[in-house]
Chains A and B, each alone.
Chain A
Amino acid sequence: MSYTVYSMKPSAGVVLAGGRSSRMGAPKAALDWHGSTLLRHVTGVVERAVDGPVIVVRAPGQPLPELDPKVVVADDPEEGRGPMQGLAVGLAAAARHADTAFVCSTDLPFLHAAFVQAVLRGFEPDPDAGWPEAPEVVLPFVGGFRQPMAAGYRTALASRVERLLGEGRLRPSHLFEESAVRQLDDAGLRADPRLAAADPALDSVVNANTPEEYAAAHGRPAPEVVVERFGVLATRGAGRGASRVRAANLAAAARQAGVPFDGHVVAAVNGDQIRGDGMWPLLAGDTVSFFSADAGG
């Protein structure tokens, strides 16, 4: 897919799928997430938040679970050089389409689109906050910890990251030493009203590194969403009016709302993208509208 001619340089998403998953003992990308996989869920969340492409960076030869067809896969030519290597590949791949990118790892099961958007908004110049010009990195600083794997980067940094790798400086902190980094702490993040409402605990940065952490995350109830049915869907089954269900994706929401999500029905989330893909992720606070796929005429 080419965005070049049509793009006003939107933001891209980069999801780093490589890594050995050694503490998990199984590839994190393929872990189940409420009928989907963790990687598909996270890429879907990022896709919901950015208006450019989403790029998955994988290790050499790494098998990936099924992804949304619009997701672009970039191959990392070298293994074992840590997240900076994936960052270099991802930013380079995104640079053709976007000036900025939200970059994250696969193991963020509670990542919220509002968090991604709040981070990307950090690129906007903000003289009052001491940023008369756009920063090069927007780095969340949550609970006293930097979050380089849930952060925003200018895609032009790809060459700087490459140079640092060539110098054997393999840590994100090496990049931050040479870059204009805007840190967003808890209060700064929660200043975004949408994020404050959708993810007040900033669980977006909670990662699952071990089987125990994964089990705990998986054991949490699915997000609560509002479901609306329109047209003929409103004339049968649960009928008209909004209802609340707990569902991690469209297929689950349809099932619980008694909607036949069968190709003749599509859904819009928060009035935004229209999807017929049952694995499209849902997040706390979403409103899902189901209606006839043949919605013209």
Chain B
Amino acid sequence: MGPAPGGYCGQALVVDVTDGSSTVLPLPDHVLRGYLGGAGLGTWLLTELGPAGVEPLAPAAPLAFVFSPLVGTPLTTSAKFAVVAKSPLTGLLNDALSSSHFAISGKLTGHDALVVVGRAREPANLLIDQDGARLVDAAEQWGMSAADAEESVRARHGRKWRAASIGPAGERGVRYATISHDGRHAGRGGLGAVLGAKNIKCVAVRGDRRVPVADRDAVLATAKDLRSRSFGPATEKYRELGTLSNLLAFNAVNTLPTRNFQSATFADAARLSAEDLAESRSVARSSCASCSIGCEHIYASKGGAKARVEYENVFALGPMCGVSDPDQVLEASARCDELGIDTISAGGTIAWAMECVERGMLDAPWLRFGDGAALLRALAEIGTRTGVGALLAEGSRRAAETVGQGSSAFAPHVKGLELPGYEPRTMQAMALGLAVNARGADHNRSGAYEADFTGGLDRMHGTAAHVRAAVETEDRAAIMDSLIFCKFLRGVFTAPFDEWARLLSQVTGWDVDSGELRATARRIVLAKRAYNLREGWTPDDDWLPERFLGGSLELGSGRTATLPPERLRAMIDTYYAERGLGRDGRPLVTSSDSRAESRP
């Protein structure tokens, strides 16, 4: 192998934490060019290194921290990394993104990815720098919150170390535990449980290798231009109020999931809104490393708990559970951070349980919609796997299978992953995206809500046009998640594939055009599907919960929003055709997309 392309190290480090040994895995050009980095390269690594059918929490299951060719460049929002593993929640491929200094330091260890396999005998921290990997005892950090563990590791080993850590929930195998770095979570799919199952509390990185780019001046010019555009109207919402500014707007357009999707509006939404919080209490602003947007808004509750406030955590712990007291929602959000659990899955699973209680299916009479104290108690029990928490720590799909009595019909998940804060009946491009996405019910890998919000389509009547729009947003997400750029930057790209191809050429020296990147996007989407197929995916997995297909929503406009199963079926069939899949959703291997061709 020759020198790595610009922006790459050309190798991954695979660490077996059973004995601390490590091996270097060369990453040939055609693999890097074919899968880029982040979620794409992570999918390739998982396919190559993960034994088929491996149990997600087994020692042999790999978990990869994957960087990208843009990490370390001055391009805004590029300090990001993907964590990729087989999800203990879905049993399928899961990639979750996080950001900031861990990405930069991790790549500067001289690796495009750090893969963890095995299981340490005792709780340990894994330290990796350019001299290699080593395990150190984690007895001191075990039981700490992720933030405290991260701080503890840096205090002990030095401030140059950057750490990604699990919280107590990851240690206890909560199936939607997160991996956190600098207060931000690789949140979805239970990756924290995977790391916890390996007896690893923290992965800490330190590095100062140079990773040159092909055309430094061109990259600098692009970075300057992009930074300037990032201050424009396309990102204003994120800068000024953060994603929580969605909440009142979603409420106004009947797409704010409330009380476990029994309604799409929440009477007390204003109390939880960004507009209200910004007026009524002080806010701290923050941003990831290398980011010029600065979307993070940190609010304190009356109890003193501080929480990074996003639309998704407020929706899931607020309207979804019927809770309207902002202090209790902020407290719950902070509690999720401390425990290291995904707020969307936590809120979705608790909301499902609240409905079960309401229907007399679950014996936990204290767990009622609208009761913030009950929400906090449920979170605490999930984090310790005590009481009803032992059931709810399994996620809504498994919990519904245990409870039975028809409760699966309203368990708010796809493929085991709980739904984000978008009502599928009033957003039918999004309904398709939620149904077919490899990760499960997910908004970031699909992005189809963009199509519903453009105003160009009837969002309550899915057609082939919605399918084409959803394929386009999924393709764009595949590239953004692999390059990696923050999604909040998406509005500043006027011709995204052209612009991404140009800057990738500047970084790598490859002669990439938009056509190649579009093919890469499709390859990554199909590679995820191929992985899932190998791990037991069936066509029935591409579907939505019964709740959305039977019931209707009455809107103030006089219309009724329904998503008949025949319409969803038609959209999925069209999606398969658009993707070149068989009628059963299985990939048809073609010469241009064959994974075999991409083997090193």
Contact = CB atoms under 8 A, between A and B. Distances in A.
Contact of B233 (A2, A113, A262): A262
A64 interface: no
Interface in A194-232: 194, 228, 230-232
A139 B422 CA distance: 40
State the main secondary structure of chain B at its contact with A. helix
A180 to B, nearest CB: 25
Nearest to B276: A240
Interface stretch (B402-410, B444-452, B496-504, B508-516): B444-452
Contacts of B452: 274
Contacts of A240: 275
A8 interface: yes
Given A271-B253, A272-B559, A231 B275 contact: yes
A8 B234 CA distance: 37
State the main secondary structure of chain A at its contact with B. loop
Contact of A297 (B236, B246, B252, B460): B246
B534 to A, nearest CB: 31
A291 B452 CA distance: 14
B557 A272 contact: yes
A297 B557 contact: no
A277 B447 CA distance: 22
Interface residues of B, number: 56
Given A266-B454, A295-B449, A296-B246, A235 B241 contact: yes
Contact of B463 (A2, A113, A289, A293): A2
Contact of A289 (B252, B265, B278): B252
Chain A's interface size range is 35 or more
Contacts of A296: 246, 422, 443, 447, 449-450, 453
A269 interface: yes
A235 B297 CA distance: 15
Nearest to B574: A5
Interface string A260-297: 00101011111111111100000000010101111111
A200 B361 CA distance: 48
A5 B250 CA distance: 29
B540 interface: no
A289 B564 contact: no
B555 interface: yes
Contact of A6 (B241, B311, B490, B567): B567
B427 to A, nearest CB: 10
Interface string A237-255: 0001000000000000000
A10 B561 CA distance: 12
Nearest to A236: B240
B241 A232 contact: yes
9 nearest interchain CB pairs? Answer: A231-B245, A291-B249, A272-B557, A270-B557, A289-B252, A276-B455, A275-B455, A230-B249, A292-B237
